[in-house]
């Protein structure tokens, strides 16, 4: 029995199992939507535990589907759970869960890529950026085709402190294809070091929590899955606008097997490319013969800060687009030389 004066822990009443819900509402997974369900509640509990203490928390679950993770979140004693689900077939099953947890669940039938989360939670939950994270969490097992563009969008929101981060340093616990999780968490020199490593780690503490083997899902995907936890940093490691960091990082990794200066070159128009690249590498104190995967976060910070100075001195520089210059050249040249240009991209 609960101690006098203390609220009893919330537990969902007996319900049909997730497997039974799938049968009841004929929720056949749609392969074209990359739907892979988790039916084992010990596993969904384990995912939800990675988010930390959820007692009285406000949670947004993205892509609840038949509701396995949803049940684990509710059993963790949350105050409110917002569900954003794109596939209308799942709504009746989610409504059943909502009735079993009166007043706790809000269901939004919509697309998380366009859903505006800045007004989703009460204003009193807002924390200053420098404070501890607010008691708001995002949790989700999304299709791989959605989770990568979504994390890029949310990293941009972290950088601008808007969207879900209007409330402060909202934490996220999300699943990714194992290889993508490795990219998100790769250290300097790691095989999977990439644009995603720098973009995520300069804005967040990124932790790979555990791997879920493909066979744990129904139907089984061809790949394994990893759970990744993100906490936005108080101070980003690179203090420049998101678009500028993204441009520098993307350029550097454009030629991941070449010296890093090869990627840096494409930040500059052809007529001044070599001179400006040398100037940037020297001022940023980066050895041009390092490979992109060997660059540390402080190398990227120096490159971004120096590129920013160069952009401030030359207002046309940031708008320069290497691919656009290539396209224009292509139009002028014969088809044979066009093929050669394609190979250099």
Binding site for ligand SAM (CB under 6 A): 33, 35-38, 62-66, 68-69, 84-87, 90, 111-113, 141-143, 146
112 vs 303 by CB, closer to ligand SAM: 112
Rounded Cα–Cα distance for residues 176 and 210 (Å) = 11
3-state secondary structure (DSSP) of residue 319: coil
Considering Cα of 24, then 217, then 62, then 168, what sign does the dihedral take?
A: positive
CB of 37 closer than 8 Å to CB of 22: yes
Pick 62 or 101: Cβ nearer ligand SAM: 62
Q: Which is nearer to ligand SAM, 116 or 126 (CB)?
A: 116
Closer residue to ligand SAM in complex, CB, 84/107: 84
In the bound complex, what is the minimum distance in angstroms from residue 211's beta carbon to ligand SAM? 15
Cβ distance to ligand SAM smaller for residue 68 or 168: 68
DSSP of 91-116: HHHHHHHHHHSTTTEEEEES-TTT--
The pairing of strands 105-109 and 225-232 is unpaired
| DSSP E strand stretches across 242-317 | none
Per the omega criterion (within 30 degrees of 0), is the bond before 219 cis? yes
Smallest distance, Å, CB 126 to ligand SAM? 25
SS3 340: helix
Nearer Cβ to ligand SAM, position 94 or 238? 94
For residue 281 the two structure tokens come to 């590498």
User: Between the CA atoms of 10, 16, 22 and 25, what dihedral angle is there, to the nearest 10 degrees?
Assistant: -110
Provide, rounded to whole angstroms, the least separation between the CB of residue 243 and ligand SAM.
Answer: 24
Q: Between 212 and 280, whose beta carbon lies closer to ligand SAM?
A: 212
Assigned token pair, 114: 């366009």
Which residue number, 48 or 261, has a Cβ lying nearer to ligand SAM? Answer: 48
Shorter beta-carbon distance to ligand SAM: residue 65 or 292:
65
CB of 58 to ligand SAM, least distance (A): 18
Residue 280 has phi, psi (to 5 degrees) of -65, -45
Contact 203, 158 (CB under 8 A): yes
State the Cα–Cα distance between residues 193 and 218, nearest whole angstrom.
Answer: 31
Least Å distance between CB 218 and ligand SAM?
8
* HEC assignment per residue over 146-175: HHHHHHHHHHHHHHHCCHHHHHCCCEEEEE
C-alpha span between 10 and 7 (Å, rounded): 9
Chain position whose Cβ is nearest to ligand SAM? 63
Alpha-carbon distances of 256 from 40, 149, 193, rounded to whole Å:
40, 21, 9
């Amino acid at each position: 029995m609960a101690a006098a004066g203390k609220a009893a822990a919330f537990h969902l009443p007996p319900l049909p199992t997730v497997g039974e819900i799938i049968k009841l509402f004929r929720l056949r997974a749609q392969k074209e939507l990359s739907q892979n369900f988790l039916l084992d509640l010990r596993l969904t509990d384990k995912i939800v535990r990675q988010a930390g203490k959820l007692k009285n928390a406000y949670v947004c679950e993205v892509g609840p589907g038949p509701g396995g993770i949803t049940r684990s979140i509710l059993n963790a004693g949350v105050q409110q759970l917002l569900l954003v689900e794109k596939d209308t077939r799942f709504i009746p099953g989610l409504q059943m869960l909502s009735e079993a947890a009166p007043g706790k669940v809000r269901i939004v039938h919509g697309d998380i890529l366009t859903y505006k989360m800045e007004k989703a939670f009460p204003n009193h939950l807002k924390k200053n950026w420098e404070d501890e994270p607010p008691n708001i969490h995002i949790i989700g097992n999304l299709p791989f085709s959605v989770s990568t563009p979504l994390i890029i969008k949310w990293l941009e929101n972290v950088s601008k402190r808007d969207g879900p981060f209007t409330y402060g340093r909202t934490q996220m616990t999300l699943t990714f294809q194992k290889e993508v999780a490795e990219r998100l968490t790769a250290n300097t020199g790691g095989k999977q070091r990439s644009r995603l490593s720098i973009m995520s780690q300069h804005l967040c503490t990124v932790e790979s929590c555990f791997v879920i083997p493909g066979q744990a899902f129904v139907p089984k995907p061809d790949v394994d899955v990893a759970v990744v936890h993100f906490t936005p940093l108080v101070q980003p490691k690179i203090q420049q606008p998101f678009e500028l960091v993204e441009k520098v990082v993307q350029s550097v990794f454009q030629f991941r097997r070449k010296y890093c200066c090869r990627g840096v070159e494409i930040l500059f128009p052809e007529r001044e490319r070599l001179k400006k690249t040398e100037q940037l590498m020297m001022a940023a104190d980066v050895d041009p013969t390092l490979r992109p995967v060997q660059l540390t976060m402080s190398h990227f910070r120096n490159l971004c800060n120096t590129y920013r100075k160069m952009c401030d001195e030359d207002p046309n520089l940031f708008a320069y687009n290497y691919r656009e210059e290539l396209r224009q050249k292509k139009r002028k040249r014969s088809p044979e030389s066009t093929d050669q240009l394609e190979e250099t991209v």
